[in-house]
Amino acid sequence: MISPDRFPYVVLMLFATTTCAVISVRALRSRRKVARAASFSMMAMAASFWMLLLTVDLLTSSLFIKEILWRLIPFAILGTLLGLLFFSMEFSLRLKRIPKVVLYATTAVVLAVAALSATNHLHHQMWTVAQINGYDIQVMGRFHGIQLAYTYLLAAASFIFLFWAFLRSKGLLRRQTVLLLTGILVPILVSIASDVFGWNPLPFIDEPGLSVVFAVMLFGWATLGFDAFYLLPVASDVIIKNMLDGVLVTDVEGLILFSNEAARTVFGKSDAQMNGHAADEILSDWSPEAFQAWDGKKEDTQLIAAGGEPRFYRMTISKLEGNSGEAIGLLLLLYDITVQKNAEMQLNELAICDPLTGAYNRRYFYEMANVYYNQMLRSSKPLSVLMIDLDHFKQINDTHGHVIGDQVLQMVTATCKRLVRSPDIFSRFGGEEFVLAMPETSLQDAVMVAERLCRGIEMLKNEPDGVTVTGSIGVAETAGENGLTLDVLLARADEAMYLSKKAGRNRVTAWKNN
């Protein structure tokens, strides 16, 4: 039979037990959708067990049962605070940065205190029993100080982690952190008032224990009721962790909360080196262009990652918003578009290059030569062109066949491309005829290049199948003569090339105005 004076307290403790249990179950069911729900569920379930033990203690007058309860209560208290500590470390993104030996030691102390409580009948240092007004009362012993000190230590460490998160947060995340700090401060203050100043407004009730229910409710509100804690799960549901594209999820301040394996591979960093670090630091180490895009919040950027074989990426940045439209984070996606880019370059190369020799085709030559010609008109810096014709090429085809003739064209092209500058446009003009445009090159320098090409072609003698290859080259230059067009310049080079052939072939002739 419940004593009438205890009945209201029993009802209150049953409500506290049920509340913690319901919140714990809900958090456990949400663990795949809500970040940090698992550690919070552990905390709430331990608190519910704590409240249940206190409720049974109110209901029973059996000393045997009470001593069983008193052995279990320290474990429930420290289990609650251990769950709180793990939750705080997860929330502040510090859990993965704490050495495992520290985590194991923290848990081991909880088990040690629980063992001291369980073996109290052997040493009677955790508590003794006294009777006051006909009730069996627990009188705390010397070892109880160990439990009390460790309880405050766990609570203080949790508060420090949450306060650190508060200092680094803003907006919606800061409001959530304030709720958590409030939730943890209430039990700490109530415990100090009770343990230090002897505050005891509720007879038969453990006020610090009951205040934990208030903390659980606030933590439940912050964990399960705010959209920001759905940030990681929403991103994870949309972007699967093992997808081939890189994924980064950050908070509003740019701290990385999540990175998938593809992103870590791209950046060459481990999970510990990514999560909890600033995204701008990671990006600046990897690519200056990526950092500039992130800093400027460019939604869509294409960039090249150097180092070894270049790879092409498309980087997109998207805002993550809560139901109220308030920004709660950023989602960065890295698409590897190397295959696509290489295919585009191959298609572009096919469009501008001669398929047999790999030299630029005639259309692309005119396109670029006109660009150089207009630059010459603006700057008055000379533009030179070379016309190259292979000597007796028809005879090579007739004697050795077109397969050998094609090989000769390919070898000549490879030789000439190796001997000219990257800005120069070397093109197959038709048949066995080639043309070279050389911006900012005087006639004298162009003749030197032509001589080098002539000797390079001649050195292909007897390759392949004993074929002798030579070339006749004509050179022309302009620095902006009135009325001189690109076609006229090419005609002059062509005229000079025919003069080389008339003079005996395998030589260079510069055009001169007679």
pLDDT at 148: 81
pLDDT, one tens digit per residue, over 280-293 is: 888 888 888 888 88
Mean pLDDT, residues 69-79 taken together: 86
Q: What are phi and psi of 134, to 5 degrees?
A: 85, 0
pLDDT, one tens digit per residue, over 456-482 is: 999 987 677 778 899 999 999 998 777
Using N-to-C axis directions, what is the helix angle for 144-167 and 63-91, rounded to 10°? 20
Q: 31 vs 25, 26, 36, CA distance in Å?
A: 10, 9, 7
Q: In what order do the strands lie in the sheet with 383-390?
A: 425-430, 433-439, 383-390, 471-478, 508-510
Provide the pairing of β-strand 127-132 with 135-140: antiparallel
10 Å CB burial of residue 155 (0-12, 13-18, 19+) is buried
Q: Decide: 382 and 376 in contact? Cβ < 8 Å.
A: yes
Distance CA 213, CA 373 (A): 83
Domains and CATH numbers, the chain: 7-225 (1.20.1070.10), 237-342 (3.30.450.20), 354-510 (3.30.70.270)
pLDDT, one tens digit per residue, over 185-221 is: 887 787 777 767 777 666 666 666 677 777 777 777 7
Q: Decide: 322 and 171 in contact? Cβ < 8 Å.
A: no
pTM surpassing 0.95?
no
Least confident of 75-79, 180-184, 285-289: 180-184
Residues in the chain: 514
pLDDT at 36: 67
Instruction: Quote the percentage of the chain above a pLDDT of 70.
Output: 86
Tokens standing for residue 215: 């903390």
pLDDT, one tens digit per residue, over 324-378 is: 677 788 889 988 888 888 777 777 777 889 989 999 999 999 999 999 999 898 8
pLDDT band at 509 (very low <50, low <70, confident <90, very high): very high
